[in-house]
Amino acid sequence: HGFIFLENATLEITPLQNGLTSSPLLVDNSYVKEEIDLTLDELHVVKRSPPRLLPTDSNFETKQRIRDAKGKLTLELAVFFDEAAYRLFSPFFDEDDERIRDMLLVYVNGIQALYHHPSLGVPIDISLIRLDIIQRQPFDLPHFGGERGNLLDSFCNYENARNPPEDSDSRHWDMGLYVTGLDLYAIENGRRNSATMGLATVGGLCIPRYSCVIAELGVTDQLGKPYPSAGFTSVYIAAHEIGHKIIDVHGILLVFREYFGKLFLS
């Protein structure tokens, strides 16, 4: 999986489903071309984004807001990989923490790729300030079994207590991201609803108490079916939650939400 950013187009590369390898017309449309490399074991589809991301009657007010942001922006991020996620992924990497670290760096790079989409107008770099791989859940970071509201509050308290308050401190970060292997849920009408894959309050990036988000990684349902947070698409989940925090910072409206299925505002 991956993205290729060209001057006037964005390409998304995804594996071709086995059932479609002999029927390229089933996956072909005006924005899709199939390129087959016989040296690879797996076929891929390269998708081109639609040429028009905004309605024709748009007054492009959002573009003007983007132009007001000068230069490149940087988001300083701290990532906390919890015990549940560690127990989930560690066996796949032969309990090698360096390989888990490499996986998380790829994960963060995928998030940054979304924030380099040309339609944003100004790219946002992600600077990774801290990366904690948690083998045993801290006593002051209860996870509440994945209940989303309590877990978000728990993490916000935890990361805020460890974040140096002064922005001039090289160890200070703008936002904390809690990556969990738990299936996040909420209780609605007395029943457990596991539709949640991430959670953040809207805005508040500049308020230390609320500069925090949570997101699933590697989670499946009770039947073992993967959620969108289980694989490469997990970067969309994290980018979505981060977007809730930065949407109004520097007057930027993330106009490419239309292309990514209302990624940031839905």
Structural domains for the chain: 73-261 (3.40.390.10)
Please tell me the predicted confidence (pLDDT) of residue 202.
81
Radius of gyration of the chain (CA): 20
Paired strand residues for 17: none
CA atoms within 13 A on the CB side of 172: 11
Please tell me the predicted confidence (pLDDT) of residue 262.
40
- Among the residue ranges 16-20, 71-75, 170-174, the one predicted with the least confidence is 16-20
As a whole number, mean pLDDT of residues 31-52 equals 46
Please tell me the predicted confidence (pLDDT) of residue 70.
54
Which of the following is catalytic: 83, 147, 241, 258? 241
83 is a catalytic site residue:
no
Q: How confident is the model at residue 73 (pLDDT cuts 50, 70, 90)?
A: confident
Measured at the CA of 112, the angle between CA 39 and CA 219, to 5 degrees, comes to 75
* Average pLDDT in the chain: 77
Please tell me the predicted confidence (pLDDT) of residue 21.
46
The pLDDT of residue 22 is above 60: no
What secondary structure letter does DSSP report for 71?
S
